[in-house]
Chains A and B, each alone.
Chain A
Amino acid sequence: MSEVANARFKPGDRVRIGDHNPPGHRRVPVYARGREGTIERICGAFPNPEELAYGFDGLPKRTLYRVRIRQADIWPQYKGNPKDILELEIYEHWLEPA
């Protein structure tokens, strides 16, 4: 599934998750908005769940990425191992180059 035509990002790219709050059913958790991470892989292209949630077909498909973020970059008071990470799957329209 990792072969996606016109993918904007590739594994290793630094990205920032959008820090916006559009109305509607959005799946990006609030704690992750505005955080920076690295593209770990391209997961594939899928109908947009934000459109499917309201009964639309979700097309064209959107590219989905697995984004790796340092826990310490998410939680200001993080006391665990500084190497600890979190991986989230985020659609391309929520990502911008960092």
Chain B
Amino acid sequence: MSPRRPNDVGGLTSGPVKTGSHELDGWEKLITALVSSVGPGGRKITTIDEFRRAREDIDETFYNSLTYFELWAEGFVNLMQEKGVLTRKEVEARMAALKAKQ
């Protein structure tokens, strides 16, 4: 098995890199706040290293299909499930309920 995790891309070929700034969506700010709330500056349920590991554990094909903050959201849900705080099912049920209201 290759030891290379999906984040470990040094030396691989790549397409052009988009530089410059961009606006953050509201949900991107929200996921940042959620991650902080359980981290070392909040409830201390997770460490920064655990959150990094949770993101870098994501399957490579799926990892490469996600934007930066989508990776955060996926890693966050996985880590919260691991810690017994909430389950992916609960998150998905809530998302479905919110979508149905729209």
**Taking beta carbons and an 8 Å cutoff, which residues of A are in contact with B?**
21, 25-26, 29-32, 49, 52-55, 58, 74-75
Contact = CB atoms under 8 A, between A and B. Distances in A.
Interface residues of B, number: 14
B50 A30 contact: no
A44 B2 CA distance: 31
Q: DSSP majority for the A interface?
A: loop
Interface of B is mostly: loop
Interface of B: 3-5, 8, 10-11, 47-50, 52-53, 56-57
B47 to A, nearest CB: 5
B48 to A, nearest CB: 8
Contact of B11 (A21, A26, A31, A58): A31
A26 B50 CA distance: 12
Contacts of A55: 47, 50
